[in-house]
Structure 1
Amino acid sequence: MFIYLSSVHVASGFSFVPNPPSGTTVGDINVEYEYKVYTIEVGSSWMFDWGDGNYSGWIKVENSKGFISQNHSWSDYGVYKVRVKYRSVYMVESPWSDPLTVNITLPSDLDGDGWINEVEIAYGKNPNDPNEYPLDTDNDGTPDNDSIDGRYTGDVDDDGDGLTDSIEESVGSNPKDNSDVETVFVENTIFYIVDTDNDNQWNILYNPGTGLKTKITNQNGVFYLDINGDGNYDYTYNNGLFVYRPFPWLQVILTAAGIILIIIAILFKTGIIYLYEEEYIVEE
């Protein structure tokens, strides 16, 4: 631990105001901390005022090592003003120095579980038990729910999947499970594909901008998406490759037309249908 020494200008027989002592400014109760003042005047004396009603008594400088030090601990949490006073070899005393402020505070996380005490208390948890802390499904540092005392607001997206809990409840997905929602981009717009029945298959396409929900059709791992709610599929989504492409309406139409033509040709060939020509004789 590095300790910075406080220098003072010393002149025997002359009263001066010493600099504040140096040492720890933040600590815990019942732990001793070291405080120092710098001096080279052998035979002079120094006294520490610990700010808690206790004093060190006069400490005589026995050699010219450059500083004197004292240890002190506090038994109660609080803010303490540590001062020093100088007395020369001629018994001339200085005024008290300006104080060094020392905060003896309750550790912010008593049980070391990553949650500060006041949050654990607000959520009705034991700040001394590392196995007891607020529920945080997505580990983002914000508890899932509001605190009991109303001081803290819970996470609006417990599982961190991009959809708020209220939206997940409305579409039917689990707000505690981030595997049932996938973010996709169609036409530079964010959509969410959602598994609403926990069968590991996407069922709903959700547009957060409009609130529109449309059904997804799955055919052999290819998902057909209706992005505007008109009942027609506009895009397909390959779940394996994460590739998007417009739904091939032209291909479907041409394929259907080809099939119809083939059927008609077969019907002609088998004689099921045929062209009937009728001759008319015109008498003059």
Structure 2
Amino acid sequence: MGIFKTNFGGFATRFSPFDENRIAVATSQHYGIVGNGKLHILEIVEGGRMLREITSFMSKDGLYDLAWSEDNENVIVGVSGDGSIKIWDMSRGGPDGRFPVRSYQEHGGEVHSIDWNPINRRTFITGSWDESIKLWDPMAMQGSVQTFKEHRYCVYSTVWSPYHESRFASASGDRTVKIWDTKAPMASNTILAHDHEILSCDWNKYNENILVSASVDKTIKIWDIRSTQRELGVLKGHGYAWVQFTREADVDSDMTVCLWDTLMENALVRRFDHHTEFVVGVDFSLFIPGQMASCAWDETVQIWNI
């Protein structure tokens, strides 16, 4: 297991879509309540047994989420508690390389989620505590391209469909998951998914109609967007849940990382307890089967193979 000490609490971690040995971590000081943020770019070395820093970028407020560009291996975006969205370019050298190449300030509240479009590779979406979702095109040299405002509470999660370039899902504290198409101003489907706030959602990468939602009600629910009157299944056995879907398994986290197989009767496959504080960031490698990464408020990011 590779471990890196971040010194700030971890909020999100993502493997690079271009380099199997590169990973990014978004962190916040004082649990994201007050203080600075820092984005670490790390290199995986010695077969995953070590992590070392390539570079890092500071922000004046905590960073809650990040996304790698799908079009440029050196570009990465972080979203912040002050409502800002910052784009950094790792290829820039010298003192200027420490500063964002672009910064947006349109959201009226903390920006909690960002996802880069994996299909058209030009746009990304952000979800904010101001109850809005915004669509961005960095090449347009302007502000947001489109705003979606239908949720009635904080938007905690926004994620593109891996099959449709204009479709994405969002999860909110208003207890709903919404399915959107960027070609329309209103959501195409609203799922009354849980009885409590929904912290995250994600698509099944191998079935375009299946997604999962995770809530503070301590459940993960599996949905078929073609028929949303009732969930396909419910996974129980954890605390507050964030979720990441990969093939036939998804991961949730409180102070543990749990691996599930949704096709098994006893869905919980394994529980990992290598962190000592809340785990709020998790990702799967795109290149190495079974390789995972997690970050937590214990100020560490860790990678291992399941």
The structure with the largest strand share of the pair is: 2
Structure scoring higher RCO (CA < 8 A, sep ≥ 6) equals 2
TM-score for both structures, normalised by structure 2: 0.23
TM-score (norm 1): 0.24
